[in-house]
A and B are shown apart, each in its own frame.
Chain A
C-alpha cells in the first residue's frame, strides 16, 4: 500500500506519513557518522572519514565546512545535496550581514536551512534534501550553540548529538558520558567527541576528522597527529580501567 504514496512528495499517506521524507531520513542513516559536542567555551565537530581509494587525493573530501567566520557545520547523507545547501547557507550569512549589519546567529542560519529543507518537502517536482546537519558556532554575545537539522525541515538545539550511521548508539554513549564537568573543560569536551566517534570508527585516528571552534577564534581543523594524541590518551585510559577492574576482581576472589 505504501507503494502508491511514495512517489509524489506532496501527497500524504492514509496514516499520515510523508514517505519521501522518511526515505530521505533512511538516506541519512546510510551516511558516515558525525558527532557534535557543545562545551562551555568550545564546540567540537567530529566526522567519520571513509577511507579513500589509493589514487584519490585525500584532502578533497571535506565533511566539515565553514559557513561564516563563527559558524561551521558537518553533515551526514548525500554529499551532493550538502554542497547545494552549504552554498545557500553561505550566501545567506553574507546577505544577512549586508542587510542587518550583524553576523548571523547560529539559530538564524539553522532556521534558514531548515526552512529551505521544508520548502523542498512541499514543492511539486522536487525531492527533499537527503541530509541531516550539525551546525555549531558562537553567537556574537559569546554563547556556544549546537543545532541539528533533518530532511523534514525541523531543527533542535543539542548539548551533544550524533547523526548518520549508528547515530543511535553514539547518542546513547554521549548521554552516558556527557556532564557539566566535561563541558567545562575544553580538553575533556574534545576527548568526549573522539571517544564517541571511536565507538563507530574501528580503525582509529586516520579515519577521523575533527574540528574545534573556541570563542572569538576561527575554526581549527585538527591534524592527524593531534587526533592520534587524543586516541592514545583514550586507549591508555581504557587500559587503566581494565587493569583496575582486573585487580578488583582478583581482590574479590582471594
Chain B
C-alpha cells in the first residue's frame, strides 16, 4: 500500500519468491465496477487464514472468541405478506447482557433481515448487503428481488466459509414475484420456504408455528401466531426473552407492528387459559 512504501516499511516478506498473496488480497478494489463479481475481500495477512481464524473460535485452552447463538427468530409467508417476529435477549454465558437488542435489521424499506448467531457478523454483513442492494437499484433502475438479495448475501458468506463467521439470518421482502422469504447462513445454505425459525429457541417456536399455520390466515391471526410462537420459545429457552418485535412485510414495504414484553404476553395467555 502507498503509505507503507513512503515509510519504507516492509511488513510482508516474500516467501520462496512467490508473490505476496496476502498483500494482494488486502488491496481494496477502487474500480469496483461489478459487485456481483467482486472477488477481492479482506483477510488477515497470514498464510492460512481459515486455520488462523478457526483457532480463535476453539473452546479448549482459555478464553477464546465465543459466539452467542441464544435467540429465537421466526418468519413465515402467508396470503397477506410475510410476518417476522424476534425476541430481544443477548446472553454472554449465563449472564443476560441485554433485554433490548434489535434483532431485525431494516435493510431498506422493502427488505428485512433477522439476526441470529454472531450479532456483529449479522449486522455488519447485512449492512453490506444494504449497500449492494442500493447500488443494484441505482444501476438497474429497479428494486432488487428478494431472491437476488439473499443470493448476494449467501455468496458473500460462502466466501468466508470455514473462517468462523456465525450468521443465521432470514431475508424477507416483497418484490415482483410477491412475498419472499429466504434462509441464509454462514455455512452457505440458502433456501426458501413458507416457514422458518432460527436460534436456540427455534424448536419451541416451530411447535407452535406448525400447529397454527395456515396460508390463508387473516392478518390478525398471523400477528397472534408470530407473537405466540416467540412467547413460547422465550418461556422455555433460557437464552431467549425480553420483548417480541413484530414486523409485517406488505406489498408497500414493511411496517413494525408491535413491541410487546413477553411478561405481558405471559399473563394474557394465562388469562385465556383460565377463561377457556
Interface residues of A (CB under 8 A from B): 95-96, 99-102, 105, 108, 115
Contacts and interface: CB of A to CB of B under 8 A. Distances in A.
A1 B145 CA distance: 53
Contacts of A108: 140
B48 interface: no
Contact of A101 (B37, B140, B145): B145
Contact of B36 (A96, A102, A105): A96
B184 to A, nearest CB: 14
Interface of B: 33, 36-37, 140, 144-145, 147-148, 151-152, 155
A101 B151 contact: yes
Nearest to A100: B148
B33 A101 contact: no
A108 B142 CA distance: 12
Q: Determine chain B's interface SS by DSSP, over half rule.
A: helix
Contacts of B147: 100-102
B151 A100 contact: yes
B155 A99 contact: yes
Contact of B148 (A95, A99, A105): A99
Contacts of A95: 36-37
B41 to A, nearest CB: 16
A99 B151 contact: yes
B143 to A, nearest CB: 12
Contacts of A100: 36, 144-145, 147-148, 151
B260 to A, nearest CB: 36
Nearest to A96: B36
A99 B39 CA distance: 14
Nearest to A112: B34
A101 B152 CA distance: 11
Nearest to B136: A100
17 contacts: A95-B36, A96-B36, A99-B36, A99-B148, A99-B151, A100-B36, A100-B144, A100-B147, A100-B151, A101-B145, A101-B148, A101-B151, A102-B145, A102-B147, A102-B148, A105-B140, A115-B33
